[in-house]
Amino acid sequence: MPKFMVTGGAGFIGSTLVRSLLDQPNGEVEIVDNLLTGHEKNIADVRKRVMLHHVDIRDASALRPILKGADVVFHLAAIPSVPRSIHEPQASHEVNADGTFNVMRAAADGGVRRLVYAASSSAYGDSETLPKIETMIPRPKSPYAVQKLLGEHYAAVFHSCFGLETVSLRFFNVYGPRQDPSSPYSGVLSLFMRHLLARTAPTIFGDGEQSRDFTYVEDVAGLCIKAANAPSSVAGKMFNAGNGGRFTLNQIWSLLQKVEGVEIAPKFGPPREGDVRHSMADTQAAVAELGHAPKFTIEEGLKKTLEWYRMAEIQTTQGVA
C-alpha cells in the first residue's frame, strides 16, 4: 500500500489534495502540519481516514522518521503570502526556505520515490511577456518569490545530486473552498467572497486592472497527483500549474456581483508593495508532459466557491463549525 505524505495537508490546498488522494483506489494518506495557517476543521470530514503529525517543518529531526519510506511527498507547507514575507521576512524564510530544505533532505535520505513541490508563479515577477513560460528568466519581486524559487532550485539539485525524483509546480493564484479569509494576508478571492456575502465593499489595491490566472483548487490538486504519477522523465523539472487565462480584479468583482445579483462599488486603495502587474500561465509543457487538463472555468469555480462560503457562514452563525 503506497504511503502519501502531504506537508501542509490541513491547509487550504493541502486539504483538497488529501481528499483527492483519499478518492483514489489505494494508498494511505498522512499529513504533516503545524496548524499555523492550516486548521483541523479543514480535514474534519476525513479526519478518521488520515494520520495527522502535528509537526513543524523547521524541526528537521522530527520530520525524518515521519517521511521515511513514503512513496510520494507532496510538499505544500508554507507561509503563503507576498505581503507577509515583506512584513515578516525572517519567519517566512525559515519556513519556506529552511523548512523546504529539511523536507527535501528527509525525503532523499528516507528513500522517498518522488517529491512534488508547491512552487509559485510569483517567481516570474514583472517580466512584460505573457503568457509566462517555464524557460523565462525568473525576476522575483518579494522575499516570498525568492524563497519559493530557491525551493525549485533545490528540487532540481536534490534530483541531480541525490537521486530524489522531484517535480516543481508553479501554482498560479489558487482559489476555492476553505481558503481562509480571516487574515490581512488572505488571498484576494477569499476576501471578495466574504465581502460579497456580507454585502460590504472590498478594497482593491491599485486600479484593479492587474490580472491573475486564477486556478481552481481541485484542478491544482489533480495536477499534483498527475505529477506524482508521471514517468521518470519529468524528474528534476518545473511546470506551470495554471489555467492559461487571466482576469482583472475589476472583472472578477463584476462577475461576482452578477452571480449574486447585487451592486456594490469597491473601494480603491494604493497599489500593494511587491505586487506583480499581470500573471498568466503557458500550460503547454504541463499538458504535454503531465497530462494537465483543468476542468473548471472561472464561472464554475467562482460559483462553487461562493456556495461553499455561504454554507460555511450559515454553519458558523448556527454554531455548527
List active site positions.
Answer: 144
Q: Give 70 or 243: the residue with its C-beta nearer to ligand UD1.
A: 243
Tell me if 283 contacts ligand UD1 by CB under 6 A: no
CA distance 302 to 189: 9
- Exposed e or buried b per residue across 290-308, where buried means at least 16 C-beta atoms within 10 angstroms of its C-beta: bebebebebeebbbebbee
CA distance 57 to 218: 25
Surface-to-core class of residue 319, CB atoms within 10 Å of its CB (0-12 exposed, 13-18 middle, 19+ buried):
exposed
Closest residue to ligand UD1, judged by C-beta, is 122
Q: Give 66 or 77: the residue with its C-beta nearer to ligand UD1.
A: 77
Tell me which of 38, 80, 140, 222 binds ligand UD1, using CB under 6 A: 80
**Rounded alpha-carbon distances, angstroms, from residue 92 to 57, 237, 259:** 12, 24, 36
Tell me which of 212, 226, 246, 292 binds ligand UD1, using CB under 6 A: 212
- Exposed e or buried b per residue across 15-53, where buried means at least 16 C-beta atoms within 10 angstroms of its C-beta: bbbbbbbeeeeeebbbbbbbeebbbeebbeebeeebebb
Q: What is the DSSP letter of 278?
A: B
Yes or no: say if 37 and 201 are a contact pair by the CB < 8 Å rule.
no
Nearest to 280, CA basis, from 76, 127, 82: 127
Tell me which of 43, 63, 82, 221 binds ligand UD1, using CB under 6 A: 82
Q: Give 105 or 212: the residue with its C-beta nearer to ligand UD1.
A: 212
CB of 239 to ligand UD1, least distance (A): 14
CB of 22 to ligand UD1, least distance (A): 24
**126 contact partners, CB below 8 Å, separation of at least 6:** 139, 141, 276, 277
Tell me if 171 contacts ligand UD1 by CB under 6 A: yes
CB of 321 to ligand UD1, least distance (A): 23
3-class state of residue 134 by DSSP: coil
Yes or no: say if 269 and 204 are a contact pair by the CB < 8 Å rule.
yes
CB of 42 to ligand UD1, least distance (A): 17
Q: Give 158 or 172: the residue with its C-beta nearer to ligand UD1.
A: 172
Tell me if 200 contacts ligand UD1 by CB under 6 A: no
Number of residues that bind ligand UD1 (CB under 6 A): 22
Q: Give 193 or 204: the residue with its C-beta nearer to ligand UD1.
A: 204
CA distance 118 to 227: 11
Yes or no: say if 144 and 124 are a contact pair by the CB < 8 Å rule.
no
Tell me which of 188, 193, 225, 227 binds ligand UD1, using CB under 6 A: 188
CA distance 240 to 101: 21
Tell me if 211 contacts ligand UD1 by CB under 6 A: no
Give the range of 47-55, 65-73, 221-229, 271-279 binding ligand UD1 by CB under 6 A. 271-279
CB of 30 to ligand UD1, least distance (A): 24
Give the range of 67-75, 105-113, 154-162, 187-195 binding ligand UD1 by CB under 6 A. 187-195
Binding site residues, ligand UD1, CB under 6 A: 80-82, 120-122, 171-173, 187-188, 191, 203-205, 210, 212, 249, 272, 275-276, 279
